[in-house]
Structure 1
């Protein structure tokens, strides 16, 4: 029998709640499930919430009785916040997190590069916000608990998956013994050490790097702003790299690279941790300052992905699907995008609105995204932790030249996580006007947010289905377009129409946005009435037209929902 610990995890700043296990004896009747999600991390819970928003129930099983230990993921990007807005936890993240714009790189006591992330008046969220993963998980758990379509089962460990025709049977162990669920789909969101992936003998492709980093969360009072700090080749840790981030509640994250040959066990000895953290604090001018340890761990950089995320009735997501280095804040931020994509693709298949070809598209798009991240993050990893003598020589040359030569300093850029653009997606319309636009989000791109009023933005009105942005100053949409919209909705496809540009409500639209100064149209590259954008349920653009008619809209919807 699975016996998860009932002792709250230790922390000097976070109060861990231990939940009661879900026991099968209290729920003897187990009907067939639509989706069973293994894992209650960022990917699993966002997938459950997005599925629920599209009307699909799920069961979330997690082996533990409490949220994860330690701060883990602490930096969340603007796009992640936009996704978290869709599932209703962005306000708590914003209220309790620390937003920031700047990243700094230091060599031999000199700041050699300062990066500023872009932000303009159309952005609701900062480019980055720091908050410990425990809080983010807590907010998602509360959202799941409030949703009647999500059956959350603490202390339930998925131990076996058997696939049959159009079904899977999952064996789940609990503190009072195992039980079996019959389900149409299994989402494997069980992390980097995925037992489901191991049991299915699936191999990842890519590379692992030998260098190890220590993560240490300490409570210390430092008079420094919330900015990323990176230190290269410091005197106390020659040839290696140190990163620092401010977290809420007086906590600082210190990541430092270990010298070759030192084992994780040696690195995590209290005397080793104290010596190195003292040295880092002294190097930044705070020798002898008092600090207290909260949590520490060791990680190594890996750039690995499964070549396919869909295996029969099992779909892999998050770290179960790929392992990415943290440089550039890749982990949880990529998991949110994975989960958002998976949820709408799977929901539309379950509801019969598209064939299972749609899941092949999800896999192709997200494997492509992982490989793009691996390419970019691999460059950052080779700079942070050179894997060979040749890479170290090149890195050290950049460090030395950066003291005097401006042109090499951009090589410090940490290639921040960004949303993947599905430029070559099979769901993009082949017969639209994408190539004729001079500006605006192109095929596969996420949306450009627009500030509509002081606290009202375009993305506040998108999501939960397809969105058609129709730019017009007319009193009504053409009858033929309205008929396509009505017929699409009659099939059960959620499709919302937002008219942009008219001073009065437009007949046939669910919402009208005036855009009196033309700012919206300018940002979207729209020059005349009749233009339009079609956005998927994950808000990525799948079609755009300089002039939209009913035939072209129907064709785009047919491509986006393959039968």
Structure 2
């Protein structure tokens, strides 16, 4: 059976460095284990901070298939910083609607809230292979002097030594040992880095298993999320359908308990299930298979994402179900939180206590994502008869009772803030009736000088000064504060979004989260807040 190819995969030869007695002669600042989107994001984020890295990737190309198939506006804001957002927006397919069906009857029409002032739409469908390729393109074009990618390099063992980490690496052309000051493990759900640390996940594995299948088919159906519960094509289970650009469609459907996964994933069985569903919904155009995979839903996390000089991010650190687009997107927020802290520590601009805040902030966010994802997973794949009974009752009532329909809402992912972060400086939060609180992500919006706020965040701290007193800029310069100062109009559109008055100041962390906000602040208050942050929240 032939599968259609829609992506031009470039294959890379194995990279073996110059060695002396089996050791890489270069001492690396950071070794990134895993060259998927999270690993490439780590390398790009560090390069933006002036830190070099080597990326070890076991495969010989970017990933196959759609895999993570949707990015959020927050992820696009993060990608904006390294030149990846623009090509994603050209290839991606924005969507803002969803439909849920019980058997064949529509029971919910969902409209995803949009922010008209923001630069990016809330949700964009795009296959992971494109994301990885655009990140690779950015590395080649902008950061080739700071990022080395070693394809077909697999980490076999890892040891922490004084002042760094040693990795044993195998390639098709021989093995060697690599030394690095720091290691970031981004090597996915079956992470070799996590296993080498002896770190174990805690949480819940769901019994439900899913087939993911991409097909190519011309259809006039609009973009959006479609979910069927107990459809005739997949009785007793669920099925999801998403549209991508270029006539590509993604199916995610749940296997019933009586199905053997090894048999169910065979192409002839997958294609028959798809054929049956397309016939059910009245789609009769010719179609061709592209890619098939098997997936199991889990809500799992490590309790610590830092182990000495080894840090973990993405699926190497946590696993969340696909429902609610929390997988790759939460991995990008891990990276966004981590890279500036690691870079500041490496450059001597911050205490290692700052790096210790990575775990409490991101574990908190992971548990929030897991809490919401668990509700979605339990509805999509009931773990016990009582859950199944409740779901049947909700679906049966939803068509005639609008108040029940909110229980079917898939709870699409929103950015999780850090309300309990040790870095928060929230003394004046009570003085504001709107705008992001300390620990929460900035709100994007157009700037009077052109462009959007998301284009001005990082790599250092950003000061948003509304109708600033004339002395503030001079004070910031005199105190040699390395911050980006944005002078804004309190009465303008962005001033209203931030509940600004004359003299209002917001201090934004390099990752885009609010560190502090004041009704009035001078350079001394800003400097003290930055110093407190760089000391990990305690002096």
Query: What range describes the TM-score normalised by the shorter chain of this pair?
Result: over 0.9
2:250 matched residue in structure 1: 253
Deviation for aligned residue 1:209: 0.4
1:262 pairs, out of 249, 259, 263, with: 259
1:271 aligns with 2:244: no
2:361 matched residue in structure 1: 365
Q: What residue ranges of structure 2 are gaps of 5+ in the alignment?
A: none
* Cα distance in 1 for residues equivalent to 2:298 and 2:50: 36
* Cα distance in 2 for residues equivalent to 1:417 and 1:276: 29
* Cα distance in 1 for residues equivalent to 2:449 and 2:343: 34
Change (3 A) 1:327 1:476: same
Change (3 A) 1:455 1:91: farther
Counterpart mapping for 1:49-64 below 5 A: 49-64=44-59
2:120 pairs, out of 122, 125, 134, with: 125
Change (3 A) 1:96 1:26: farther
Deviation for aligned residue 1:301: 0.6
1:459 aligns with 2:432: no
1:346 aligns with 2:342: yes
Secondary structure, aligned partner of 2:356: helix
Counterpart mapping for 1:296-375 below 5 A: 296-375=292-371
* Cα distance in 1 for residues equivalent to 2:473 and 2:275: 70
1:164 pairs, out of 156, 161, 165, with: 161
Change (3 A) 1:201 1:474: closer
1:157-184 deviation per Cα after TM superposition (whole angstroms, max 9, x unaligned): 1111111122111111112211111111
Q: Check conservation: 1:145, 1:152, Cα contact below 8 A.
A: no
Secondary structure, aligned partner of 2:357: helix
List structure 1 segments (4+ residues) > 6 angstroms apart after TM superposition: 26-29
Q: Check conservation: 2:210, 2:294, Cα contact below 8 A.
A: yes
* Cα distance in 1 for residues equivalent to 2:488 and 2:529: 20
Alignment TM-score, normalising by the size of structure 1:
0.91
* Cα distance in 2 for residues equivalent to 1:410 and 1:452: 36
1:548 matched residue in structure 2: 521
1:228 pairs, out of 225, 229, 238, with: 225
Deviation for aligned residue 1:482: 4.0
2:405 pairs, out of 395, 405, 409, with: 409
Between stretches 111-120 and 42-51, larger displacement belongs to: 111-120
Q: Check conservation: 2:64, 2:129, Cα contact below 8 A.
A: yes
* Cα distance in 2 for residues equivalent to 1:236 and 1:524: 49
1:500 pairs, out of 463, 488, 500, with: 488
Counterpart mapping for 1:92-491 below 5 A: 92-146=87-141, 147=143, 148-286=145-283, 288-430=284-426, 432-452=427-447, 456-472=451-467, 474-477=469-472, 479-484=474-479, 486=480, 488-489=481-482
1:88 matched residue in structure 2: 83
Q: What residue ranges of structure 1 are gaps of 5+ in the alignment?
A: 1-8, 490-494, 502-514
1:44-90 deviation per Cα after TM superposition (whole angstroms, max 9, x unaligned): 11111010101111111101110111111111111111111111111
Deviation for aligned residue 1:108: 3.2
Deviation for aligned residue 1:452: 2.7
Change (3 A) 1:312 1:474: closer
* Cα distance in 2 for residues equivalent to 1:454 and 1:551: 27
* Cα distance in 1 for residues equivalent to 2:473 and 2:295: 58
2:15 pairs, out of 17, 22, 33, with: 22
1:244-270 deviation per Cα after TM superposition (whole angstroms, max 9, x unaligned): 001122111011111103122111123
Secondary structure, aligned partner of 2:276: helix
1:37 pairs, out of 29, 32, 40, with: 32
CA RMSD of aligned residues (A): 1.8
Q: Check conservation: 1:310, 1:316, Cα contact below 8 A.
A: yes
Deviation for aligned residue 1:476: 4.2
* Cα distance in 1 for residues equivalent to 2:473 and 2:96: 45
* Cα distance in 2 for residues equivalent to 1:555 and 1:246: 49
Q: Check conservation: 1:169, 1:183, Cα contact below 8 A.
A: yes
The number of aligned residues is 531
* Cα distance in 2 for residues equivalent to 1:211 and 1:18: 35
Change (3 A) 1:480 1:380: same
Change (3 A) 1:437 1:421: same
Change (3 A) 1:10 1:60: farther
Q: Check conservation: 1:132, 1:248, Cα contact below 8 A.
A: no
* Cα distance in 1 for residues equivalent to 2:201 and 2:49: 31
Alignment TM-score, normalising by the size of structure 2:
0.95
Q: Check conservation: 2:469, 2:503, Cα contact below 8 A.
A: no
Deviation for aligned residue 1:120: 3.2
Change (3 A) 1:479 1:472: same
1:333-385 deviation per Cα after TM superposition (whole angstroms, max 9, x unaligned): 11111111111111111111111111210111111111111101000000000
Q: Check conservation: 2:98, 2:110, Cα contact below 8 A.
A: yes
Secondary structure, aligned partner of 1:452: coil
* Cα distance in 2 for residues equivalent to 1:121 and 1:207: 37
